[in-house]
């Protein structure tokens, strides 16, 4: 534990040192005016200060202000405090707010390829997502997709592999998905519809009431850490896994491009470095807290933990492939991103088979 903490501390120290060096260089070369002060708004799709998601945005703002010596201060607004959750994209694009934090699949109706940069059914894990985004061309494709809207996206958090969801009734076969009303956004929702269900898109703040009143029959949200915070176990008894629809959900920081370009170079680098730090730390937080919360849900609240039946997962995977192929046939950018992701996964699979996958399948104790 001490060795791990030391390594993590050294990594964060290196990032801070790089940011400080960038700031010094900008001042020395005259590219930064340290008398300039910027006050920005950061709007999110999450309930105010919601654990992990909302607090991650708050921590991002704190880091930026600290690293910039107060030259860039950011006020964070949760869902409904400035704009509703699903208006974040448009508000940042228009410059109503300079930044937004959320999940890219919420913007599927604007950009068909947007879900790729958060999660797609049976897609990449969190570790694979980071590898693809940073070293497989994913970030460049993401920036290309958002450029027509005047937005600059960057990874800023990951919840890891999510849970399959909360159900008021057990799922025994594919037939049990018929007519099922389930909160599920993104491409996962399209797959659910192909399976006979009815996907419903709701912001986090509305999920518990909808499930409790029977307006929906099931919901996915994130995982044990956040699901416990929402008290979803009070509204549904059966908790299914795995999260086939979101195997490694990347969260995004979107920045109004004009506002970003108005910053001195050192502040731009502070924004990028702070987003990367949150991307790392949030995944660590979710991994640790999910383990604790799952134990609480099962041992203290009597939650019934269930694996999806094998035939259900097989059918959902079959339908997922169909959705991806059909959408690629209609949208050129979607097709390019899909091929990029698939090519990267083909390169990764042989290594992962003898590395993480083999290790997880064999370790004991």
Convert the pLDDT of each residue in 207-224 to its tens digit: 999 999 999 999 999 999
Model confidence over 131-144: pLDDT tens digits?
Answer: 999 999 999 999 99
Residue 40, pLDDT > 60, answer yes
Per-chain mean pLDDT for the chain: 93
Give residue 32's pLDDT: 52
Give residue 25's pLDDT: 45
CA 185 to chain centre: 12
Q: Which helix (H) or strand (E) covers residue 318, if one does?
A: helix 310-330
Give residue 8's pLDDT: 44
Model confidence over 44-63: pLDDT tens digits?
Answer: 999 999 999 999 999 999 99
Residue 15, pLDDT > 60, answer no
Give residue 247's pLDDT: 97
Residue 1, pLDDT > 90, answer no
Average pLDDT over residues 260-269: 98
Domain boundaries, the chain: 19-159+247-288
Residue 287, pLDDT > 80, answer yes
Fold topology of 19-159+247-288: D-Maltodextrin-Binding Protein; domain 2 (3.40.190)
What pTM was computed for the model? Answer: 0.90
Model confidence over 106-155: pLDDT tens digits?
Answer: 999 999 999 999 999 999 999 999 999 999 999 999 999 999 999 999 99
Give residue 49's pLDDT: 94
Residue 6, pLDDT > 60, answer no
Model confidence over 307-356: pLDDT tens digits?
Answer: 999 999 999 999 999 999 999 999 999 999 999 999 999 999 999 999 99
Give residue 34's pLDDT: 76
Q: Which residue has the higher pLDDT, 230 or 8?
A: 230
Give residue 35's pLDDT: 82
- pLDDT band of residue 33 (cuts 50, 70, 90) is low
**φ and ψ at residue 61, rounded to 5 degrees:** -60, -40
Helix, coil or strand: residue 177:
helix
DSSP strand pairing (99-102 vs 250-256): antiparallel
Residue 27, pLDDT > 70, answer no
Average pLDDT over residues 68-80: 98
Residue 7, pLDDT > 80, answer no
Listed as own residue / partner, the contacts of 304-310 with beta carbons closer than 8 Å and 24 or more positions apart are 304/237, 304/238, 304/239, 305/239, 305/241, 306/170, 306/171, 306/238, 306/239, 306/240, 306/241, 307/240, 307/241, 307/242, 308/164, 308/171, 308/240, 308/241, 308/242, 308/244, 309/171, 309/172, 309/173
- pLDDT band of residue 24 (cuts 50, 70, 90) is low
**φ and ψ at residue 153, rounded to 5 degrees:** -95, 155
Length of the chain, in residues = 365
């Amino acid at each position: 534990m001490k060795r791990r903490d030391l390594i993590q501390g050294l990594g964060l120290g290196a990032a801070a040192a790089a940011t400080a060096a960038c700031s010094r260089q900008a001042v020395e070369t005259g590219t930064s005016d340290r008398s300039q002060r910027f006050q920005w708004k950061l709007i999110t799709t999450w309930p105010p200060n919601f654990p992990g998601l909302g607090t991650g945005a708050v921590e991002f703002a704190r880091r930026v202000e600290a690293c910039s010596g107060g030259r860039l201060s950011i006020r964070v607004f949760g869902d409904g405090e400035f704009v509703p959750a699903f208006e974040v994209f448009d508000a940042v694009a228009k410059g109503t707010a300079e930044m937004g934090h959320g999940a890219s699949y919420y913007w599927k109706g604007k950009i068909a390829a947007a879900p790729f940069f958060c999660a797609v059914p049976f897609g990449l894990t969190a570790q694979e997502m980071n590898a693809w985004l940073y070293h497989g061309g994913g970030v460049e494709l993401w920036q290309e997709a958002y450029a027509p809207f005047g937005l600059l996206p960057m990874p800023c958090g990951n919840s890891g592999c999510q849970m399959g969801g909360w159900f008021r009734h057990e799922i025994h076969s594919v037939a049990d998905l018929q007519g099922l009303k389930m909160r599920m956004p993104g491409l996962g929702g399209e797959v659910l519809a192909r399976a006979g269900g009815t996907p419903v898109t709701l912001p986090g703040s509305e999920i518990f009431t909808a499930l409790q009143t029977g307006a929906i029959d099931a919901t996915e949200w994130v995982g044990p850490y956040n699901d416990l915070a929402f008290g979803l176990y009070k509204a549904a008894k059966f908790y299914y896994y795995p999260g086939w629809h979101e195997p490694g959900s990347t969260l995004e920081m979107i920045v109004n491009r004009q506002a970003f370009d108005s910053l001195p170079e050192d502040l731009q680098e502070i924004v990028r470095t702070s987003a990367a730090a949150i991307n790392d730390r949030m995944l660590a937080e979710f991994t640790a807290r999910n383990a604790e919360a799952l134990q609480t849900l099962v041992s203290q609240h009597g939650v019934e933990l269930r694996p999806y039946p094998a035939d259900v997962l097989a059918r959902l995977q079959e339908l997922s492939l169909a959705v991806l192929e059909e959408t690629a046939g209609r949208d050129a950018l979607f097709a390019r991103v899909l091929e990029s992701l698939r090519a990267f996964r083909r390169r990764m699979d042989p290594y992962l088979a003898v590395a993480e996958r083999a290790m997880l399948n064999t370790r004991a104790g």
